[in-house]
Amino acid sequence: MKTLDLTAIQWHVTADSKPQLIKYKSLLHRLALITGASGGIGAAAARKIASMGADICLQANSNPTAAEKLAHELKKIYPLQTFTVITIDLAKPEAGSTLIKLCQDIAGNPDIFVSCAGTANIAPLNDLTEETYCKLQYLHLQTPLFACQAMLPHLLQHKWGRIVMVSSIWGITGASCEVAYSALKAGEIGLTKALAKEWGPSGITVNAVAPGVIDTAMNSSLETATRLELIEQTPVGRLGTPADVATAIAFLVGREAGFVTGQVLSPNGGFLI
C-alpha cells in the first residue's frame, strides 16, 4: 500500500487554530529544469510546476534579468522551495551536456526537463542560410537531445523522470515560410516518441506539447490582420496564452501522468482538428 508523504501537504491554520488541508504537492523534492524560462511559455510552466512543489532551475539566455526576477517572485510565494537561474546560449554545439552540468553544479540533478527554449525563423526557404539553420537545429533539436542524454544516469538510478518537449502544430502540419522551424519541431516529436519507447521501461516518461498560435513575444510581430485571421480560424475564438500551454505541461510532468508517454498534447483551441 502506498503511503502519503506528509511533508508534501500544504496546511493552513484557521482563526480557530484548526489546520485545514489546502493542497498535496505531488512534485515536492523533485527538481525541474526549464529552458526558455525568462518569459512566455517557459515562465508560465515554471509558475505552474512550482505550485506543484518542485524546485526549479530556470535557464535563460538573452534576458537573464527576467529569469532572476521570476526566481525571486517564486521564492516569496514558495519559501521552502529553491529557485535558481543559469545563463547559457543553447544554440551552440555541446550546449546540451553543458546545460545539465551547470544545473547539477548550481541546483542538483534534474528529475524533470521541460524544453521550452525556441525561436522562429519566418522567411521563404530561398532566404535560409546554413548558418541560421544550424543555430535553429542546435536550439530546437540537438541541445534537447544531448541534455536528455546527460540526464539519463540520474534518472536511471531513481527509476523516475519526466521529459516534455515543447514542439508546435507546425511540427505536425508544416508551415509555409517556416520550413526549417517546421522540420525541427517535427524532429522534436520524433525524438519524443523514440525516447518514450527506449526509456519507458526505466520509469521515465517522454511527451510533447504542440501549441497552436500562442500570444507570446515570438508572435508579437504578427500583423493585426493576420492575428484576426488566426483568431477566426480558431474555434474557441482567441489566441492561446502561455498559461494554456503550461497547464498541459504540468499535467505531463505530474505523478498522475505516469501512464502517459510518447504522446503529443496539442493545446490549440481547435485550430488543428
84 near 71, Cβ under 8 Å? yes
Cα 152 to chain centroid distance, Å, stands at 18
The three-state secondary structure class of 205 is strand
Q: Whole-angstrom Cα distance, residue 57 to residue 110?
A: 8
Closest-CA residue to 162 (of 196, 197, 198) = 196
138 is catalytic: no
Catalytic residue from among 24, 78, 133, 181: 181
- Helix, strand, or coil (residue 228): helix
d(CA 214, CA 209) in angstroms, rounded, equals: 12
Q: Give how far Cα 75 sits from Cα of 58, 78, 79, 215, 248, Å.
A: 13, 5, 5, 26, 23
Order of strands, edge to edge, in the sheet holding 204-209?
Answer: 83-87, 55-60, 31-34, 112-115, 161-166, 204-209, 264-265
Residue 86 CA to residue 101 CA, distance in Å, equals: 11
Positions marked catalytic: 181
